[in-house]
Chain A
Amino acid sequence: MPNDNIRPPTINLTKEDYNNIKQVISPKPKVIKNLIFAFLVGGFICSLGQMIINFYMIYLDLPKMKAQTAGTATLIFIGALLTGLGVYDEIVKIGGAGGIVPVTGFANSMVSPALEFKREGNVFGVGGKLFTIAGPILLYGIFSSIVVGIIYLISS
């Protein structure tokens, strides 16, 4: 027992026993079902992104690079809007990683805490919370890219 206290628990059970019981009784996630929906939802969002990029290239005559960045920005807008409308969390409920991993999920993770904490004002509420999850993503992403750049310099 982790406790050294006066009277050990009255129930007749060790921690190990309890872990075994928990293993048997706790429900497991429906992995196969989750994988299928992750594939469908994630695939849909990515193909939507591709359609948007194609649209920008064909109808707005944007060169490939610009069309890609515009496409990313558009998806971010869509993710943010669907979060504000209260719809995006329903998408993730069904699609799991299919909703979390695309850049629309990144937008959702920025907007949802900002939305939640707006009661606490514009500076500490919206402002502070926009980066609750975006912060670590940008930190680790940018940091590792700088490391990559430095390693590249050293090795060349």
Chain B
Amino acid sequence: MLNNIIPAFVVGGLICILGQLLMDLTKANVTPAHVLVTFVTGGVVLGALGLYEPLVKFGGAGATVPLSGFGYALAKGAIEGAESNGLIGAFSGGIEATAVGIASALFFGYLVAVVFNPKG
């Protein structure tokens, strides 16, 4: 089981390098938000084209932890939903697949925001 950690490290690190290049080499008004939106949408597209699957097979968490992995999950979910439920499944599939991620972000995000104070 432990031999999947190094591929995770390498693949994850490389995907982040891509993000860093985007941040450093583009015009100054590319913020973290823009980078995140690009990665999610990129993950959806690559996932839909089947190009993200090999990354996931080899890199495991190295491909699923970055936000492109979230996009990949969305695409996979939408396709599976469309397969089993037609048009309705195309709509619901993505959200269903990523429901736990969205719900936990909301849940923990709210709790932490209420308990802590910004330090500046």
Count of chain A residues with a beta carbon within 8 Å of a chain B beta carbon = 76
In the assembled complex, how far is the CB of residue B18 from the closest CB belonging to chain A, in whole angstroms? 8
Convert A128-141 into 0s and 1s, putting 1 for each residue whose CB lies closer than 8 angstroms to a CB of B: 00100110111011
Asked if residues B65 and A49 are in contact (CB atoms below 8 Å), the reply is yes
A42 interface neighbour in B5, B12, B104, Cβ under 8 Å: B12
In the assembled complex, how far is the CB of residue A128 from the closest CB belonging to chain B, in whole angstroms? 11
Count of chain B residues with a beta carbon within 8 Å of a chain A beta carbon = 83
Which applies to chain B's interface (DSSP): helix, strand, loop or mixed?
helix
**A85 — which chain B residues lie within 8 A by C-beta?**
116
Asked if residues A114 and B67 are in contact (CB atoms below 8 Å), the reply is no
Q: Which 10 A-B pairs have the closest CB atoms?
A: A46-B12, A149-B90, A42-B16, A43-B13, A97-B19, A145-B94, A84-B116, A149-B78, A50-B61, A114-B113
Chain A residues with CB under 8 Å of chain B are 29, 31, 34-35, 38-47, 49-51, 53-54, 57-58, 68-73, 75-77, 80-81, 83-86, 92, 95-98, 100-103, 105-107, 109-112, 114-116, 118, 122, 126, 130, 133-134, 136-138, 140-142, 144-146, 148-153
